[in-house]
Amino acid sequence: MKMTIEELKIENFDLIKTLSQQYILANGSFIEINIPPTQIIDNFNTLSGTRPRLKSLGIYIVISLKNIYIKLNQQLCIQIVNQYIHGIGWHDLQYICFFDINPSNVYIHIVFNRVTPEGKLIDIKYLGANWQQYEVLRQSCSRILENPANNKYLQSRCNCCS
């Protein structure tokens, strides 16, 4: 499986509307995901509005998982995302997540608010995934892919091969 992580700063949260028209809205934190995209954007703007001089309001991450040998569903992708976000320490940020799930490729789109609910700010000076983030993603995926309950190839192994 090939993994890529792309991180970009975003000036506003209009991207949420575009993503909601193209992909499956799957998960979020500090946000109700069952409301219309315009209300989600308003909620993001309300939080970032606590830092009025902020120019880049958010961070947009695209995670690509290519050549996957098992079929990932939405629930398994949510588990991967949750483990990844906790692993990189951004679980205290407001975010919304979209999936584009194909038979052998998965694209995960995450929009983060740079302002935490406590009013702190995430620095964008160091955007760009580093090796630690790739390791966290690899471990997150491995926990899902190597679980026999999710992987028919591991289920079919006989006891003598275990």
List, for residues 108-129, the tens digit of each pLDDT value: 999 999 999 998 898 888 888 8
Q: Which helix (H) or strand (E) holds 84?
A: helix 74-88
Greatest Cα pair distance in the chain: 64
Per-residue model confidence (pLDDT) at position 129: 85
User: With bands split at pLDDT 50, 70 and 90, how would you rate the model's confidence at 104?
Assistant: confident
How many Cα neighbours within 13 Å face the side chain of 53? 0
List, for residues 13-26, the tens digit of each pLDDT value: 999 999 999 998 99
